[in-house]
Amino acid sequence: MTLEHGPLFAAAGDEPPRAVVVAVQLPTIDDGELASSMAELERLASTLGVEPIARVTQRRAKLAPGVVLGEGKLKELAKYTGGTGVVPAYERPGKKSSPDDADGEEEDGDDEADAADAGDAEAGEASGAESDPKKRATVVLVDHDLTPTQQRNLEKATGADVLDRTSVILEIFHRHARTREARLQVEIARLRYLAPRLRESTDRGDRVRGGVGGKGAGESSLELDRRRIRDRIAELRDELSQIEGGSRTRRARRSELPTVAIVGYTNAGKSSLMRALTSVDVYVADKLFATLDTTVRRLAPATEPPILVSDTVGFIKKLPHDLVASFRSTLDEAGDADLLLHVVDGSDAALADHIAVTREVLGDIRDDQPTWLLLNKIDRVDEAGRARLAERFPGALHLSARERSDVAALRERLIAHFAGALEEADLLVPWTAQRIVHQIHERTTVLAEDHSEDGTRLRVRAPARILDELRTALGGAPA
């Protein structure tokens, strides 16, 4: 019982497996949205080490029930993989094959859609298909969620492994999960995806004896595998609930401290911003879903009171529902935060869609939190582009996580939000109260320090509340 496909796990030094990306342009999808979605799927494939070599698209009123594509496009797709482009007719045991015995749902009254698509000459023409068997695509990536029947029929027609968008995302999550909690969450989602896709093997069709004394028909191997999956999911959920209990306890202990959660679309630069704000060596990589595990650290340099910053899992369009459910405890970290930093890649042409996807997921958790929109990677945007972004998203903060000045400005704004506006003041600490100097250094930013006959004079910057507390402490110090 595994989701792993052979071509996705090439040995080191081998050429990466080649893939064809397939998508159907439904009436509700415009050309720009289609191109953006396919480009994103290609990036997901690259994260897995798969090389996309071509695209096959088709305009249809709906997905063909049995094979997604129409008859002509299916044969075009097969040219890239060396398949026949035809789904073999189903043959019942002991019965001669007949043209009327179609596989499963291959034909389901979609003749009008096939006729409308017969003359479709859009992108993805197969004139450049590889003729060399060594250069053929061994993987077909479909930018839709497939039913088990559709996946099986496409594999028969193309002779290649077929992965839908959900299975690609699940595999990336599986590779990048590091903590025990994340691994349990991913395994539950993978098993839920796998259960309806189990197939009866030809050499394991005998039933296992059932009942006391071996009476009864018992279970087939397929039924046995499905029951094992259900039992395994139950075990994983029990273990995960114990871990989540510890997470809830830790969040409860932090409830009295101000917390900030960094959220946003995958690869928007959340981990880079986390590293810049906390000076913690968190994992950063220019790939999708590089971070799956929640990390909580203090804002650095330390503030009074301490401000906690958490990095969360990224979102993506069409994020599988099972993953959203499995990562509920991780998303709760964002739901319990006092402030959300919604990080967006300001240089991405599809940033509006990324914002909408993130807001939709967050809306299912909690929709009344203060949120700051941060347009990250602004160093990649020219002046005209920045002006358009400022007009389109008024009030959004423009910054680059690589620029110290931008990060410092964000840090001061966070401190002002939780502890009040920053003020500068002069404090004189008598020689008899030098212990307070240490507190001043811990709780404020010291701009200048000088020693005189009266004591230590400091020029500091801090929130008004902290300055008032220090003045009160100095007023009660022994003369």
Query: What are the tens digits of pLDDT across the range 190-211?
Result: 898 888 887 654 444 455 555 5
* pLDDT value, residue 160: 92
How many C-alpha atoms does 12 have within 13 Å on its Cβ side?
Answer: 0
Cβ atoms 428, 382 nearer than 8 A: no
CA distance 69 to 114: 9
Helices 328-335 & 180-194 angle (0-180, nearest 10): 130
Query: What is the pLDDT at residue 95?
Result: 57
Q: What integer pLDDT is reported at residue 58 of this predicted model?
A: 93
- Output the average pLDDT for the chain: 78
Q: How far apart are CA 198 and CA 76, in angstroms?
A: 28
d(Cα 432, Cα 436) in Å, to the nearest integer? 10
In the predicted model, is pLDDT for residue 5 greater than 50?
A: no
Please give the full DSSP string across 90-152, using - where no structure is assigned: P--TTS---TT---TTS-SS-HHHHHHHTT---S--GGG---SGGGS--EEEESSPPPHHHHH
The candidate with the shortest Cα–Cα distance to 77, out of 13, 146, 136, 9, is 136
Of 17-31, 66-80, 93-107, 179-193, minimum mean pLDDT range: 93-107
2 pLDDT band, cuts 50/70/90, is: very low
Q: pLDDT-based confidence at 217, cuts 50/70/90?
A: low
Structural domain boundaries of the chain? 6-173, 178-251, 256-417, 421-475
Look up the CATH number of domain 421-475.
3.30.70.240
Of the candidates 413, 445, 420, which has an alpha carbon nearest to the alpha carbon of residue 341? Answer: 413
| Predicted pLDDT of residue 421 | 65
- Cα–Cα distances in angstroms (integers) from residue 448 to residues 68, 400, 413, 421, 431, in the given order: 70, 29, 22, 20, 17
The CA distance from 138 to 82, in Å, is 9
Cα–Cα distance for residue pair 123/38, rounded to 1 Å: 12
Tell which CATH classification among 3.40.50.11060, 3.60.21.10, 1.10.3210.10, 3.30.43.10 matches the domain 6-173: 3.40.50.11060
- Range of weakest confidence among 174-188, 237-251, 291-305, 388-402: 291-305
What lies within 8 Å, CB to CB, of 81 at 6+ separation is 20, 136, 137, 138, 140, 158, 159, 160
The band of 406, judged by pLDDT with boundaries at 50, 70 and 90, is very high
Task: For the full predicted model, state whether its pTM sits above 0.75.
Answer: no
The alpha carbon dihedral of 50, 56, 61, 63 has a sign of negative
Contacts of 215 (CB under 8 A, 6+ apart): 209
pLDDT, mean of residues 72-96? 81
Question: Would you state the torsion angle of the CA atoms of residues 229, 231, 237, 243, taken in this order, to the nearest 10 degrees?
Answer: -110
Report which listed range, 205-219, 306-320, 343-357, is most confident: 343-357
For residue 135, give Cα distances in angstroms to 35, 42, 52, 74, 113: 25, 18, 12, 19, 33
Q: Which CATH class is domain 256-417?
A: alpha beta
Fold equal for 6-173 and 256-417:
yes
Q: In the predicted model, is pLDDT for residue 280 greater than 90?
A: no
pLDDT of 115 above 60: no
Q: What is the mean pLDDT of residues 4-16?
A: 53
